[in-house]
Amino acid sequence: MAFSQIKDLYRLQKEARKMQKQMKKMTVEGFSRDENVRVLINGIQEIDDIEIAEELLNPARKVDLIDGIKEAMKDATKKVQKEMAKDMDMDKMKSMLGA
């Protein structure tokens, strides 16, 4: 491997670490359709908090709770992706990819 390739690889790794730190600082809320479940995740999709309406804590509503968590996570994930796309500088991407 040539020195310039090693240098480029190091620069790319450094940029990736920087991006991951920025993503970890981002927080996004996601809600179930009925808004009985709220999920707070960071930019790397780690759950920071979950809020569940009292009525879903009944064992008879287990399926509703599971569906609510899934919906809230899906909503939050879409929002993270949207934020990342908005923050992504195309020139930065091109330079990272060597284009």
Task: Note the pLDDT tens digit of each residue in 21-66.
Answer: 888 888 999 999 999 999 999 988 999 999 999 999 999 999 999 9
Domains identified in the chain, total number: 1
d(CA 14, CA 10): 6
How does DSSP classify residue 46?
Answer: -
pLDDT of amino acid 19: 83
Identity (one letter) of the amino acid at 75? D
Structural domain boundaries enclosing 44:
3-97
pTM of model > 0.95: no
Residue 91 has pLDDT above 80, yes or no: no
What CATH number is associated with residue 56? 3.30.1310.10
**Pairing verdict, β 27-31 and 37-42:** antiparallel
pLDDT of amino acid 99: 52
pLDDT of amino acid 1: 65
